[in-house]
Structure 1
């Protein structure tokens, strides 16, 4: 009864003050000193080094964008909910939001080089094969390898330093391509030279590790979208996570309207054409394609979403690996693939290689049952012939032109295709 008597005897006339006094335990002195506004503490998540993969550095991609993670200028979609939490570490990719000014946000893709299972398996393999233990310092183990010791002594990245690495990018390397990798390596602040003097020992290990596990981020760096290459923009990396501009996978459009499917198929053909014929005389080819290889931006523009299966042949210099160098194997050859995996000889890659793959695995899913019978029959007939290799009488360019002629009248010009609208209203070029 004491507190109630205190409240009643305090002579509080204002009902709002009475409620405040009751809420504070009916202590008038407490009510008198209570602040009317309590500062709101913004919820925050303390990143774990393990989630980002920073605990594995320098067996990682880099650290160029870590500050944005820690400053919450890169946020996972789950952060938009009331419960601030990180998504499961077992996922291969995440959708996120990125800002430079804390006001405007844009979608980004946050991806791992490979699955957590593959990473863990590779880490264990490094420790057991190099140091004979179940766990170890990955950097210390990898620094002891013969390959990395050669990297430390090297002034320039040469074909013998990448021999036996499993990345398709490096199966047919030219010195010109390797110079481009070093000159445009974005995880160092002062790139620009073909010589590796500006790379520290740490930088060299990160570059070697990335090339050995998944060359996707390297391709995004050396062939940037601002120069017209069909890749999403590389924004940076942190530990074992890569951040790039967001795209929706092509699989999301398999059930799209006929005019959308026709437009995407035409863009896909244009990408293949640019990969085979460009001013730098690099011939790009796929070793594998699936429904996630290509992606579509919000403006309808199609890009290569996953560049990990892209190989490159330098038509200007050719491959500078000597016979037998591709068969060289070490720990870097076996981090994510079977050490017994056979390389495809460079001279066996034909001009039609990527087109045939796309005809087998992607275009039928995108174009099946989309059009009226006369057109659909022509499309299906072409895809069947293309999937079987097109024969010797027709080259890749002629085949792509044939399919483009069928599809071009089927696409439309409206705001759904923002990448070419409204230009398409005034020019047949778009």
Structure 2
């Protein structure tokens, strides 16, 4: 039997992949089965034909798409070899932007999008859904490059950046990442940084070699510029690295970066599950409450809190497990080591381009000056204006719970339960308790605990919930 020509095999694979994606979109049903059935169909097609997935386009075209030539002012290069070898494939598709429930979809040209769906695999592992994110729109990133890198030397290094950024000049000479070096960066991650948190960032920055030390001797000037660029442009990527999913933290897994795109585990926004069947809704709401309770309860003394809530903060993986997909709205308090007080350096860096990046970029300012305590607001301001007097773990948990119950679970659970009679009324009553911050922290958290206990009894144990099956048959919860 003659071997099928490679080109024909690739055409058949592409056709089957397109059919799988189209069928999954047409179904539009998150009520039954894992939310990424399209990926399973794609993996089956590739395995059946025995064809290795290839990157779409030539290596130079891919490098241009990922803007690898823009490094050092980029997120990193750790994932570039896998992308060029075909172990990471990015689709020309953009999911809904995090604009809240009912948000629209991006219809720009492929190169102008900020989010792309794709798939990733390691050797001897199956394909998994991933999402590639471009934190800054091309126009913003290009403007930043013009401001910092007016000229480059023969190796392409942005040798004028240090001269044009007072903050970077300090970074280049520093032996350790200290609080004064990050003051003024607009990020909830760095709103009240402790030295312990900053040391963790240096040790776990995935886009540089591991120096095994809290000191930055192992980071050359390019590494330092990439770390500063990531902290200023996309601190949520750093959060995924320092609190990795593999160690039990609630964030989506970070795989790496190539140029100005970073790749993490793919998820479907929780907002897209509004209207799902009762069992799926109960399971997702249970997971959301479990994650929220754990944000202020860990052995490391880091208190995580939401600064705002929208329909894509939580995302659902292909196996049905819930993750915090948008970590840009998560802040960190160090319970074991308070943040150092502000210094005069903050004023020195006030006009530094990295300090204004979030204002000029596509991100919203997370810390507006006005305050609000209403639980019906779509955003939550920092729990304290003083880093030396931050709320207790119980108060932070109550704030988190009120946001999640009102803005994430209320749309998901409203009208979800039709039987037995009275169940929906019971769910609504408990939601009213956990979403109303005016009731006080104790009532809010107790209401969430009661709701979580009720939802636990409604969770199914079936193969279409693979993140917890078959463990749930033998007493394991899966989460």
Give distance in 2, aligned partners of 1:75 and 1:273.
35
**CA distance 1:48–1:245, change in 2 (3 Å):** closer
- Say whether the 8 Å CA contact 2:78–2:207 is kept in structure 1: yes
Give distance in 2, aligned partners of 1:326 and 1:398.
41
Please say which structure displays the higher CA radius of gyration. 1
**CA distance 1:99–1:317, change in 2 (3 Å):** same
TM-score by length of structure 2 reads: 0.72
Give distance in 1, aligned partners of 2:265 and 2:199.
26
Give distance in 1, aligned partners of 2:448 and 2:82.
43
Distance apart, 1:141 and its partner CA:
4.6
**1:226 corresponds to:** 246
**CA distance 1:317–1:393, change in 2 (3 Å):** closer
Q: Alignment partner of 1:361: what SS?
A: helix
> What CA deviation, in whole Å up to 9, does each residue of 1:344-375 have, x standing for no partner?
42446541222221122111111110113522
Matched, 1:425 2:473: yes
For residues 16-27 of structure 1, the aligned pairs below 5 Å read none
- Say whether the 8 Å CA contact 1:185–1:191 is kept in structure 2: no
Match of 2:355 among 313, 333, 336: 333
**1:354 corresponds to:** 400
Matched, 1:96 2:144: no
Give distance in 1, aligned partners of 2:399 and 2:288.
14
Give distance in 2, aligned partners of 1:208 and 1:321.
21
Distance apart, 1:218 and its partner CA:
0.8
> What CA deviation, in whole Å up to 9, does each residue of 1:295-337 have, x standing for no partner?
1122211111111111000001122233777675221111122
Distance apart, 1:99 and its partner CA:
3.0
Distance apart, 1:117 and its partner CA:
4.5
**1:215 corresponds to:** 235
**CA distance 1:38–1:301, change in 2 (3 Å):** closer
Q: Which runs of 4+ in 1 moved over 6 A?
A: 323-327
For residues 27-426 of structure 1, the aligned pairs below 5 Å read 44-45=57-58, 46-47=60-61, 49-78=63-92, 88-101=110-123, 104-120=126-142, 122-123=144-145, 126=147, 139-144=158-163, 145-322=165-342, 329=350, 330-337=352-359, 341-342=368-369, 344=382, 345=385, 346=387, 347=389, 350-351=395-396, 352-372=398-418, 374-392=422-440, 394=442, 397-426=445-474
**CA distance 1:158–1:100, change in 2 (3 Å):** same
Distance apart, 1:198 and its partner CA:
0.3
Distance apart, 1:102 and its partner CA:
8.9
Give distance in 2, aligned partners of 1:379 and 1:247.
26
- Say whether the 8 Å CA contact 2:180–2:343 is kept in structure 1: no
**1:134 corresponds to:** none
Structure 1: gaps (5+ residues)? 1-36, 80-85, 132-136
- Say whether the 8 Å CA contact 2:183–2:342 is kept in structure 1: no
Distance apart, 1:379 and its partner CA:
2.1
TM-score by length of structure 1 reads: 0.80
**2:29 corresponds to:** none
Distance apart, 1:121 and its partner CA:
5.1
> What CA deviation, in whole Å up to 9, does each residue of 1:48-78 have, x standing for no partner?
5442122322121111111222222221235
Give distance in 2, aligned partners of 1:165 and 1:44.
37
Structure 2: gaps (5+ residues)? 11-55, 94-107, 151-155, 370-380
CA RMSD of aligned residues (A): 3.1
Q: Alignment partner of 1:217: what SS?
A: helix
**1:17 corresponds to:** none
- Say whether the 8 Å CA contact 2:431–2:448 is kept in structure 1: no
Q: Alignment partner of 1:243: what SS?
A: strand
> What CA deviation, in whole Å up to 9, does each residue of 1:255-314 have, x standing for no partner?
211111111111111111111110101000111221111111222111111111110000
- Say whether the 8 Å CA contact 1:61–1:238 is kept in structure 2: yes
- Say whether the 8 Å CA contact 1:59–1:138 is kept in structure 2: no
Give distance in 2, aligned partners of 1:398 and 1:119.
46
